[in-house]
A and B are shown apart, each in its own frame.
Chain A
């Protein structure tokens, strides 16, 4: 991580701007403090991020199923905002990949959302500017999915209701039973049996995919005979 606490505090220090005909309306919707000169809008940094330990995950899928349960009340792989991929025939550590939304500083998925006057996909000021999709506003165009540059895409397509969805750090998780979002509980973090997922308020280096991959293996891991390196 190369960013400072101040940088991820939610203050407008971003240099990336949203332009367009609906900019002013959007600014009004998300808060006047986001209005910058020349009708340009800044995208405030998310106040929270998920980190994962690719070498630690046991592949139980509990985070996926719990994520879907907390958000939608159903158990599912496809509706999970975190995707765990594994190949039973590959060797450690290439056998598992953990795909979490990065809450990007630039957030191409937010950029791409064409909904006006208020974007369906936008940083939510009430929830630490986490990038959230409002499915009531989503028009199902999938532009956000197309825009996500990662493999696999961190925005999911719900083919039943034909709307996009993404990780909101559990800000809108009606079945979690406790407050989510930055400052609250993230279901996947809390439910993971081996603590292979962590929450941080410090923005990881945006230039490296690896900056979201961390070592969460403490002394107990080593005592169990597994590498802590």
Chain B
């Protein structure tokens, strides 16, 4: 029986030996795809799972697709998952994940590969050239030092891809760099497309903690520092060109469900509701945090997306950057810009800078405020305790942005101290107290707070600390942004609090179905079993549907929608729910709950790896400021609106600012969470009984051999 939705092969790249080895996907089919398969591959191929720095030669980095990639499943066709041990986290760089969009995963599938397992280290810089089943290791010495955009264009030139947008079909066997045998081999087909390239820039080459992987102009895998992982392996880029196709189980059903999505759940172009409350069903709008520089632009999206969140302009800067990278310099640029137009230009050109350097600007999210604080306190600067020759007086200008990113990418100036991680630098500089005062808001695992403070938005914070990184999963977060924006700008509340939580509860199967109280983040409920069930649901949903099936985080789950008469979104629906698409592509008979259960298995496998790396419940805690100071200054709004029950049990949108977490009560909440997960409550380690019920005896055995298996409890 064919593996519907899969290419059928996984490519194992042994950089040390410069060998390309084929793995049959079938062996890993039980894990679904994406993160699940990546975790299983890491488990099998990483020989030392105690490593805690992704730059270790034993680290294995997997670039994974899903069966849905390369298809028209709405906002699931073009995501790609990256897993491996990360770089720069604190106190331990966990086995972690990142993801990016665009067309890389689609092209990889069409080239015949479900994923790439990268292991070993090349003796000198290489890039990998994949054209269908032809895999070649190429010298990257001439690419080393080049930025991510130049690298991609140079690879296109070396391959012989025509430089124009509109160009003729190209026969793969007539492109450059091929051997005689490859030219004479079987017909590899033709394409009108440019190869899809994933690459690192100078930040990755220098193995800095803030290094990302970049594809096209603006798709980046930032968190996790995977750029540094590639840099440590002397891997500059992977270029993929595919002319194949993917068999699906039921093409009619896929097309029908896609049409239903467009016609039922997405805003109508004929009767546009520009202020609809929906995730999947909005219009294409760039998620940028400045005014667009021009109306002469288009939306731009990942493959298969139903409403693009990026944009390309005619002004020559800012193309494809979205979300955080368009805001990392915002509050600083605003101080020096003489006009809104100049503010936009500084911000979008600053976004270009981080894209080109392959720099994870998310670390600036709260990090740059901290550096400015050190400068303003007279602690950082020329001749100061923390010596820096950077022109800090010019912060907010474009030249300063480039000098800063350059220093941190090249490990010069303060970049030398920060290359191993920001909290590590704080310790080196004697600034641990900044994690107590909140001057340095790196909430969890040495990673900045995301703007969704753990003292307010509990599922975000709790999910992050129970996981491996800033969770960056927006399953419920739109409640905050939508409702707070409505309050801030006096816009109509389209869905009242009680209806909002009930709409969610209908779809929170199995743990929280019909339990709206799981969304009650009031002081009275914030350490409850109900909130633990919500966090579990989010982690399990994301590990499968979002990070393995690769439904886009910004569009799914779709709990509610003002586009439909009953306000229900597409998630878990019988006509266009996640499981409908999964089954149409793969031929499975997966229920929505089956997907959550598979996510639980993947989550447990991840936790087994974390435990082998050294995780214990004692180190699972937030940065001290989360407990010791109150959340009083929001990044987006001066309040944090969320549905809560009042003393009489009535639901209303309530401001969650002004509180801190109680350390003792949070520890009690952790116990509840561990118990629900079947993990030992004293250590947080998975128990054999839990793992074996999920057919994961292999993980239990490995934990036992390492002396890290969680003891059974009554």
* Chain A residues in the interface with B (C-beta under 8 A): 55-62, 65-66, 68-70, 72-79, 83, 85-97, 99, 151-153, 156-157, 159-160, 162, 175-177, 187, 190-191, 193-195, 218-220, 222-227
Contact = CB atoms under 8 A, between A and B. Distances in A.
Interface in B178-200: 187-194
Interface residues on B, range: 35 or more
A193 B78 CA distance: 15
Contacts of A153: 168-169
A78 B189 contact: yes
B295 A227 contact: yes
Contact of A193 (B152, B248, B284): B284
A190 to B, nearest CB: 6
Contact of A75 (B246, B266, B274): B246
A58 B308 contact: yes
19 contacts: A56-B298, A59-B301, A60-B303, A65-B70, A65-B77, A66-B255, A75-B245, A85-B167, A87-B165, A90-B312, A91-B314, A95-B312, A99-B166, A157-B169, A175-B251, A191-B72, A191-B255, A191-B259, A193-B306
Contacts of B319: 88-89, 91, 95
B169 A93 contact: no
Contact of A57 (B103, B168, B296, B298): B298
A29 B301 CA distance: 45
Given A220-B283, A226-B298, A75 B269 contact: no
B639 interface: no
Nearest to B188: A159
Given A60-B77, A61-B304, A156-B190, 12 more contacts: A75-B71, A89-B217, A93-B296, A97-B166, A151-B166, A152-B192, A176-B255, A177-B255, A191-B72, A195-B269, A224-B274, A224-B283
Contacts of A69: 71-72, 248, 251, 254-255
A78 B190 contact: yes
B258 A66 contact: yes
Given A60-B301, A159-B188, A75 B72 contact: yes
A142 to B, nearest CB: 11
A59 B285 CA distance: 14
A58 B298 contact: yes
B510 interface: no
A177 B103 CA distance: 27
A177 B256 contact: yes
Nearest to B294: A227
Given A58-B299, A89-B153, A96 B248 contact: no
A151 B165 CA distance: 11
Contacts of B634: none
B252 A77 contact: no
A75 B585 CA distance: 10
A193 B274 contact: no
B169 A74 contact: no
Interface in B266-317: 266, 269, 272, 274, 283-285, 292, 295-308, 312-316
Interface in B297-355: 297-308, 312-316, 319-320
Given A176-B255, A224-B274, A89 B149 contact: yes
A60 B272 contact: no
Contacts of A223: 272, 274
B256 A60 contact: no
B301 A58 contact: yes
Contacts of A93: 296, 298, 314
A187 B255 contact: yes
Contacts of B191: 77-78
Interface of B is mostly: loop
B614 interface: no
A87 B71 CA distance: 21
B408 to A, nearest CB: 24
List of 10 A-B pairs having minimum Cβ-Cβ separation, nearest first: A76-B245, A88-B216, A97-B166, A220-B272, A175-B251, A74-B245, A159-B189, A58-B308, A87-B165, A58-B299
B110 A176 contact: no
B244 interface: yes
B298 A55 contact: yes
B192 A83 contact: yes
Given A69-B248, A74-B246, A78-B245, A62 B72 contact: yes
Nearest to B306: A193
Contacts of A177: 252, 255-256
B157 to A, nearest CB: 12
B26 to A, nearest CB: 19
Interface in B673-705: none
A91 B316 contact: yes
Given A70-B255, A99-B192, A226-B297, A79 B217 contact: no
Contacts of A62: 72, 77, 258, 303-306
A65 B303 contact: yes
Interface string B15-59: 000000000000000000000000000000000000000000000
Nearest to B303: A61
A60 B305 contact: yes
A160 to B, nearest CB: 8
Contacts of B252: 175-177
B285 A224 contact: yes
A85 B166 contact: yes
A220 B274 contact: yes
A65 B107 CA distance: 12
A180 to B, nearest CB: 11
B285 A152 contact: no
Nearest to B251: A175
A99 B191 CA distance: 13
Contacts of A187: 255
Contacts of A159: 187-190, 243
A193 B307 contact: yes
B558 to A, nearest CB: 15
Nearest to A86: B165
Contact of B313 (A77, A91, A219): A91
A86 B156 CA distance: 13
Q: Report which residue of A69, A88, A151, A223 has the largest number of chain B beta carbons within 10 angstroms of its beta carbon.
A: A88
A88 B272 CA distance: 29
A199 to B, nearest CB: 16
Contact of A191 (B106, B258, B296): B258
B315 to A, nearest CB: 7
B296 A92 contact: yes
A66 B73 CA distance: 10
B266 A193 contact: yes
B262 interface: yes
Contact of B308 (A60, A87, A175, A219): A60
Nearest to B256: A177
Nearest to B272: A220
A72 B70 CA distance: 15
Contacts of B316: 91
B149 to A, nearest CB: 6
Given A77-B191, A175-B252, A195-B269, A152 B166 contact: yes
B659 interface: no
Nearest to A97: B166
Contacts of B285: 224
A75 B302 contact: no
A59 to B, nearest CB: 5
B247 interface: yes
Nearest to B161: A87
A99 B192 CA distance: 10
A144 to B, nearest CB: 13
A161 to B, nearest CB: 11
A68 B109 CA distance: 15
A77 B110 contact: yes
Nearest to B307: A193
A159 B245 CA distance: 12
Q: Report which residue of A70, A73, A187 has the largest number of chain B beta carbons within 10 angstroms of its beta carbon.
A: A73
Contacts of B269: 194-195, 218, 220
B248 A74 contact: yes
A187 B254 CA distance: 12
B251 A70 contact: yes
Contacts of A225: 292, 295
